[in-house]
Structure 1
Amino acid sequence: MTINEPITRDLAHAPAISGERADLLAALAQSRHFLRLTTRDLTDEQAGQRTTSSELCLGGLIKHVTLVERKWADFILNGPSSMGDATSMTEADRAAWADQFRMLPGDTLAGVLADYAEVARRTDELVATLPDLDVTLPLPKAPWFEAGARWSARRVLMHIVAETAQHAGHADIIRESLDGAKSMG
């Protein structure tokens, strides 16, 4: 898959997508495109380079967005247990969380992008085939969620779109700081 190729793959076995679902997928596809575009023509080393005072790098941002999208899609399918318990994280959990924001030995940009494409394919299929976007689930226990709150599948999907768009903006700044290339401006 190339950087400019749409991440959404053929959904020949899915029902026709229109209306709200098509809009959600189009918004998500656009944000994914801009995020991936920030990595065009980079080496693995450049994808792992920090260019600002932040700990973030381009490859790490894509790893993070991949993990977040995977976990939220799992949440839609399996409920809050799929997200883990943020209130009882161990040091090892915190270290693993931090590792998603950087390129580790053995990580390649091609591998990171391939993982992202697979998660995106799965999410797109979920959006196309989910029987009801109004179904709500209790949010997992975490200090950043209101206790007892529930989100619909629709709201989760909107959160994935917002998270992807926000990190695409971060990635654009990191890329511009790396070599002056811009993706959005």
Structure 2
Amino acid sequence: METCGSMSPYWVKLNASNCFIGIINNVDCPENTTGLESSTVNLQLTAFAFMITQIPFSVVFGLALQDTENTFLLLCGGCSILVFLLFPISGILAFAGCMLILRDYPDLERGWSFDLCLASSILILIEIIITLIVTTVMGIRSSKRKSNGKPEESVEGKGSSKDGDTQTQSNSYGHSIMKFAQVAITNGAEAAKNAIGMK
């Protein structure tokens, strides 16, 4: 739809003589008739270039997935993914270009080329919204699963930490008792030696 809309001249009808102006060329218009505004043309051509770029990189990404050694996938797969990110941008640019048409030519009749580009941009925007909703829902579900699993882990962790603290305290008490007993035995032996010596 974007290709047909961008390449065809039936964007805006200027008068009753079926003079249509478009992005690239005009049809049934006098020779001195100018086309659409440059801002609209730039937005639509950029969106068209971004959309067309997806085709060869989709082929490249498909070939990269068939590579068993993953060397081609590492080289070209990453580039293809970056190019795929231009797809939502192209929809936004195309929609902005159509809105400029509505602003600059509010009283003139618009043709089917405009309708095609507007429909393609709206479809892309719908895909963006659906992707965001699905991503958000999946993120919420995964966070809920993690949060549901954390209390058990935290309880176990707390229990293990308490056990560790109790064991550490018992070890310190046992060590202090042993030290006290050792000191008491030493003092008792010295006291016995002194008593024997005095006798």
- Fold match, TM over 0.5? no
Higher-Rg structure is 2
TM-score (norm 1): 0.31
